[in-house]
Structure 1
Amino acid sequence: MSIVIEQAVEARLVAAAPRMASIPATLGYDVRDPFAVRMSFPAPATLEGVDVCWTFARELLTSGMTETAGAGDVRVRPYGYDRTVLEFHAAEGTAIVHIRTGEIQRFLSDTTALVPVGEESLHVDLDGDLAELLRDAY
């Protein structure tokens, strides 16, 4: 069984102009980091012209589909009956994207099949993580 899930999604970039451009994005999940999800944007879709990857809590993405969630760099909220808005705040500016809620639900369903909500801590290797942190401390 695979321990990594990657799902391409169609994101709609909300820009200052009235039109919304579609950009490619990928939602990712790795059992080795069971509390987190990633959203990646390829270089052509970013202002800096480099690949950008945001990592945030799976719980934030889940909560944000039904109510406004997040107070930091990543914020998620429902939009209409079939979209979810993700806001990414950085020193360079803010990116706001709309994604079909159904795509997010499918992705989260796949992650939950891999690691059920509430069982994330069973997939964390605290001893291994601590050993890696301390490896160069001597």
Structure 2
Amino acid sequence: MPQRPATPLPSPHVLTRPMAMELLGPDTAVRIDTSVGYHSRDPHALSIAFHLLGEESVVWRLDREMVLAGSLGPTGEGEVHLEPAPDGKLLLRLGAAGHRAVIRCDQEELARFVRDTFLLVPQGTEERHIDWRPLLDSLRR
């Protein structure tokens, strides 16, 4: 059976921005330098890399639509929960129950970044940006 010619993938796009966030402890908040990233070949996700002193960065991947939803109200399950804070910030609760880190960030700054990802890959077009060839090739073996 003849195969249809593959539709060419759009050019890949990458966004990265530094962003200051805070790790909230019981009595204090500690500033953490982070980088928020997006790659159009993984169009549903954004990454947050926490740059810790003397250690490798810790990277969490979040669904970009979930981040916007978390700006409006509590959302998430499992190891990722987001909710707006009373001070206009956004709270990210990352990790398993009993071992969670609570991170506070500028809600508008993160939402602006996510909106920029939608300019690169509009909602509903994500699947056109994924390179399925490696997966399909591995299944043919």
Q: TM-score range by the shorter chain?
A: 0.7 to 0.9
After superposition, what is the alpha-carbon deviation per residue over 1:49-87, rounded to whole angstroms, capped at 9, x for unaligned? 332101121111111110111111111111125200111
| Equivalent-residue separation in structure 1 for 2:31 and 2:85 (angstroms) | 17
Instruction: Output the CA distance in 2 between the equivalents of 1:95 and 1:130.
Output: 37
Superposed counterparts of 1:1-138, under 5 Å? 3-16=13-26, 18-44=27-53, 49-90=55-96, 93-131=99-137, 133-134=138-139, 138=141
Give ranges in structure 1 of 5+ residues lacking alignment: none
Aligned residues: 131
Q: Considering only aligned residues, what root-mean-square deviation do their CA atoms show, in Å?
A: 2.2
Runs of 4+ aligned structure 1 residues displaced above 3 Å come to none
Report if the CA contact (8 A) 2:82-2:90 is conserved.
yes
Residues 15, 39 of structure 2: 8 Å contact kept: yes
Larger radius of gyration: 2
TM-score by length of 2: 0.82
Deviations along 1:92-130, one digit per CA (max 9) or x if unpaired, are 821111111111121012101101112111212223333
Quick one: structure 1 residues 52 and 90, their matched pair in 2 at CA, closer, same or farther if it must change by over 3 Å? farther
Aligned partners of 2:84, 2:99: CA distance in 1, in Å?
A: 22
Distance 1:81 1:117, change over 3 A: farther
Closer, same or farther: CA 110–25 of 1 in aligned 2, 3 Å? same
Letter matched to residue 62 of structure 2: F
Mean alpha-carbon deviation: is it higher for 62-71 or for 1-10? Answer: 1-10
